[in-house]
Structure 1
Amino acid sequence: MPYSSTQGVVLFGAESTGKSTLSVLLANHYQTLYNPEFVRSYLEERHLFGLIQHQKQISYTDVEMIALGQLISEKNCFRQASLLEKKYVFFDTNLITTLVYSREIYKQIPVFLEAMIEKQPYDHYFLLDTEGQWQPDLQRESPAVQHFFQEKMRAELEKRNLVYELISGSELERLQKIIQFLDKN
């Protein structure tokens, strides 16, 4: 049965908390797959083709495409990891992030998003702390926005009664903490 033994590990948190870097490092450590955040490639492609100059040029109508892209990429990655009989598959964020950003920025969420979130098979959540140096890019706003959304992310995990580990420290310390946690469980 697909997904029967593969565990989904979500690296969660606001922008510029190290999710992408840690996803790659963890996938390399466990010799498995990771799923990059879909919105990043969505924005980069739209920027490449001159459709946007900055993320603020996307609108609520983009949220459905972003959510569906995230869902499809997650399912494909999970399926591949399961078929390869990998113990873990790592996710650089998940659909809850899309929900939080949509609700806070556009004051609405796509009607199907909640149902999609409930069906996703995640086993572990690691909330990455905001203590690192903020790095600007096409997708990111500012350190103040980072802290605002970090609190919203934490609150959403708690509202859903999702168990998570708060991970702080340097990149190496974060990596070691997650590995230690996963190796114990």
Structure 2
Amino acid sequence: MMRWLAVLLVVTLLGGCVTQPARPIVVQPFPGPVLNVPASSEKKTTPDSSLPSPNPSVPIILRPAPTQPARQLVDGSRMPAVQGLLATAERDRRAGKLEAASISLERAQRLAPQSVLVYQRLAAIRLQQKRAAEAEQFARKGMGFATAPAAQAALWYLIAEASRQQGRSSAAQAATARAVELEAIAAE
């Protein structure tokens, strides 16, 4: 009986030392510049020496991340609240209430921080208020979001006028020339 118990104990201990057959490790890539894998197929590689691997003889299968369609950012200028603020600002501007118009446009800018139209109108109001440096800053900020040549041309005209008001005639001429070029492109 003792002999059977000893054999059973040895078999049990040796059974714990048996390893499972090696299975591949599947790694789901995350977005980022770490690894570029073609989306058309899976690729088997050996583990990278810089990455720790529990078993260096196990192949790693990399599956490409699913592709997502490119999204176009919405500038927010079509939101009803922004539309209302733009209309209020225009009414105030026509009534000569430039400070009230400016406040409405600044609120619209907080709601739609990528709206070219808001920056364009803010720059125009600042020009009417004789605050040319701020007008130029708003126009240049809007330029960062403007994709249409017509919108860019309008912003360049505002930059030209702001430069004139600041006494920088050469900068004003260069900005006007750029605006004319963009108008020609927009007319095509």
TM value normalised by structure 1: 0.33
Higher relative CO (CA 8 A, sep ≥ 6), structure 1 or 2?
Answer: 1
Q: Which has the larger radius of gyration?
A: 2
